Amino acid sequence: MLKIYNTLSGKKEIFKPIEEGKVGMYVCGNTVYDYCHIGHARAMISFDVISRFIRHLGYELNYVRNITDVDDKIIKRAEENNESTQALTERMIAAQREDELRLGNKMPDREPKATEFMQEIIDMIQVLIDKGFAYHGASRDVYYRTEAFKEYGKLNNRKLEDMLAGARIDVETAKEHPADFVLWKQAKEGEVSWQSPWGAGRPGWHIECSAMSTNCLGSHFDIHGGGPDLKFPHHENEIAQSEAATGKDYVNYWVHCGAVRVNNEKMSKSLGNFFTVRDVLAKYNPEVVRYLMVSSQYRSAIDYSDQSLNEAKVALERLYTALRGQAASAEYVPTEFTERFETAMKDDFNTAVAVSVLFELVRELNKAKTDNVAQAKLLAAELLALADLLGLLKQDPEYFLQNSTVSEGLDEAGIQALIDERTQARKDKNFARSDEIRDELADQGIELLDSREGTSWTRR
């Protein structure tokens, strides 16, 4: 049975879908005003793996991940760039999809944009006003009345007054309570806006997800996911809005992935340790980044550094080396490795243990290569099938081993030319030149592997 850690209850629970055989999952996506950073990559990869495994278990999954394409940050960045908000968001959405595909993610079933659900957002706000959960403030903005929702704070297991204790809060005179949050903002002159019963404006961030999720998956669905920074206030506010508007429980299982830290510090532009996915992929093969993300269980914090990426590269090279020159059977026959892999994944998607099973499988594969060719083919097929559930081992082994990092030195043609020269030097018994070429390549991180079939190479 699949067990999922539920943030709402604070414990692992046996997963029981609302509708047998079907799963609805909503994940909070990005606010598209800039390129994706490695924290975004962690969330995107985590929920890609979760979606793969849920489908592997036979469920019919409807995976929805939103795009926030109207927001204060978007408006500010568009003004700085002297471009329209639409031009900015379309450019960033295209960049995000490019990054994701390079990282090996499969796209969600649906990616609703906030701007496509403006009427649904307005309708939900009106319902909240009619029910007494929202009010039109003196500033002409519309606010959510947190004190009216008696269970406010249940996701974070904190009472409303405790959340405010010791905090510095600007009490706007337009608000009835310091914790009240905006549902509809009045637009400033020149800003992008939509007409509403409360004047021209745009929605608050929290209400966007409530409207999109309930319209795409229904008032009550199975799984809601996101990054660790979204638990409060975003997801707490989503619960308050959605349950007040529909009168139903909103979500059964709340799932949050762990944070990414950089050299044991919080990632921050002000600290100079902020890395976009594109920064990283300029130096490392995308699958190295993906391996780093899945080598820890999704709820664990990850420490990003050159050292951790290099360790991920070396580990992934071990898996690819086992497949180098190894044919895989067309038939996948599950063994005890599959059973143990699935057991790990059923325990709250524990990819760390699942990855360790892959290495045990590789040890058996390496043994079988020398004395049981048929068994080696079956084990190679099993390794590829299990790794696919993590989005790993999707490249040709020879290509990966030669391109696990991005080198500014010799390209493949240059490396091959030197290997050919070395092969001729060995035929001519010019061993001094042969050794010289090997050392020259080693200085550039190229390791040569001689065998009866010839010379192959790996970039180190």
Residues annotated within a binding site for Zn(2+):
28, 209, 234, 238
Q: In the structure encoding, which two tokens stand for residue 88, read together?
A: 């900015």
- What does 226-272 look like in DSSP terms, one character per residue? E-GGGIIIIIHHHHHHHHHHHSS--EEEEEEPPPEEETTEE--TTTT
**Cβ neighbourhood burial of 357 (10 Å; 0-12, 13-18, 19+):** buried
Binding-site residues from annotation for ATP: 269
The CA-based angle 31-37-42, given to 5 degrees, is 95
Binding-site residues from annotation: 28, 209, 234, 238, 269
Exposure class string for 181-219: b at 16+ Cβ within 10 A, else e: bbbbbbeeeebbbbebebeebbbbbbbbbbbbbbbbbee
Half-sphere exposure at residue 310, Cβ-oriented, CA atoms within 13 angstroms: 6
Q: 């080396």: which residue's tokens?
A: 321
**Cβ neighbourhood burial of 255 (10 Å; 0-12, 13-18, 19+):** buried
